[in-house]
Amino acid sequence: MKKLTIALLVVCSLMLSGCSKKEKRTEQKPIASEETSVTNSQVNKINPSETDNSSQDSNSEVLWNSEKARKLNQFVIEWGKTMKQNYREYTPENNVSLYDLQLPKRVLEEGGWQAVVDDVPIEIAWSEDGEGDGYALVAVFSDADTQPYLEKHVYFFTIVSGEPKVLVTSQNQGNENNYLYFKETDNKELRDGFKDLMRGNEARLESTATKEKPEQIYLGTIAYKDLDITNFIQEKAQWLGCSIEDDGTTINLIPAMSATIQNLQLYISGQGNEEYYTNFLDVAKEVSLQTGGKPVSIWSRGGDGEIVITAQN
């Protein structure tokens, strides 16, 4: 009897032990399966586009980098084509010659020329990332190697306290201060394109159809200080030292600089300066051609208001 009782106890013990192990295995199996399911679900939720967006956000947070520089190069070259100009990019190690002035090197080096914006000397330095004190120069473009004399432009693409500014100069003469005069471009398409690229967006060009010149152009009155040198006619007026008074039928170039007035007076008085007169005549012809044959007059404005030149076609 005792042997039977012991045998039953051993059998029950083994059965309970087996049931316990089976229950443990049964309980562990769903947990492992559930963890795997969660992990797979999390992996499946990773979207490649989210990674791309993150990269774009990172790109837009940086003021300037090589990718933005590459896109600006493409944009400016295409923009130049719409203006019938051929632009190339330059750096401090690869300079453009603007009437024998090497840029940007000469305004960046110590003891070089002083960059001036709206008659105010500025602090300017080359920058790879758009950071820096004053004007951070990130790119330089020019058509000087391909444009005719007096029709050359140099653009400085700068960032000032996080704001993009496109500066332009066409200066063709030196001065006692060694100042290189810039102004912020009035070309909205160029300004907006640079701003979009700096912010990590795409730059767009308007249709070239909107750039067709009308047969007749009305300029109104433009003071010498307000002349836009990116505009062909206004650039010519600035080179002559004149303001513009367009009365609707004739474009009158009014001498605004003392040197211009003196040279005209010398010619009018018969004391020579035929070369100066020839320069005025050539410009008047070019401006007339650009306005569909509109007459262009140059005044002496030395007190008598005499017309020195009138050119048409």
Specify whether 246 is located in the same domain as 307. Answer: yes
Specify whether 123 is located in the same domain as 143. Answer: yes
Specify whether 193 is located in the same domain as 217. Answer: no
> Predicted confidence band at 208 (pLDDT cuts at 50, 70, 90)?
very low
Mean pLDDT over the full length of the chain: 78
Specify whether 244 is located in the same domain as 193. Answer: no
3-state secondary structure string, 121-147? Answer: ECCEEECCCCCCCCEEEEEEEECCCCC
Distance separating alpha carbons of residues 95 and 108, to the nearest angstrom: 11
Q: At residue 253, what are phi and psi to the nearest 5 degrees?
A: -95, 120
Among 17-21, 113-117, 149-153, which stretch is predicted with the lowest mean pLDDT? Answer: 17-21
Specify whether 68 is located in the same domain as 204. Answer: yes
Residue 7 is part of which domain span? 1-46
Number of domains making up the chain: 3
- Report yes or no on 241 lying in a domain: yes
Long-range pairs for 89-93 at CB < 8 Å and ≥24 separation? Answer: 89/139, 89/140, 89/141, 90/140, 90/141, 90/142, 91/126, 91/140, 92/126
Specify whether 113 is located in the same domain as 205. Answer: yes
- Answer with the residue of higher pLDDT: 225 or 115: 115
Specify whether 205 is located in the same domain as 217. Answer: no
Specify whether 258 is located in the same domain as 202. Answer: no
Tokens of 102: 């090497």
Give the residue-averaged pLDDT of 224-231. 88
Distance separating alpha carbons of residues 137 and 107, to the nearest angstrom: 11
Percent helix, strand, coil in the chain, to 5, is 40, 20, 35
Dihedral angle sign, alpha carbons of residues 307, 283, 296, 237: negative
Per-residue pLDDT reduced to its tens digit, 160-190:
999 999 999 999 888 999 999 999 999 999 9
- Report yes or no on 57 lying in a domain: no
Specify whether 81 is located in the same domain as 160. Answer: yes
Specify whether 199 is located in the same domain as 217. Answer: no
- Show which of 209, 239, 265 is a domain's final residue: 209
Specify whether 76 is located in the same domain as 35. Answer: no
pLDDT at 59: 57
pTM over 0.75: no
Decide if 238 contacts 224 (C-beta within 8 A).
yes
Specify whether 236 is located in the same domain as 282. Answer: yes
Distance separating alpha carbons of residues 107 and 251, to the nearest angstrom: 36
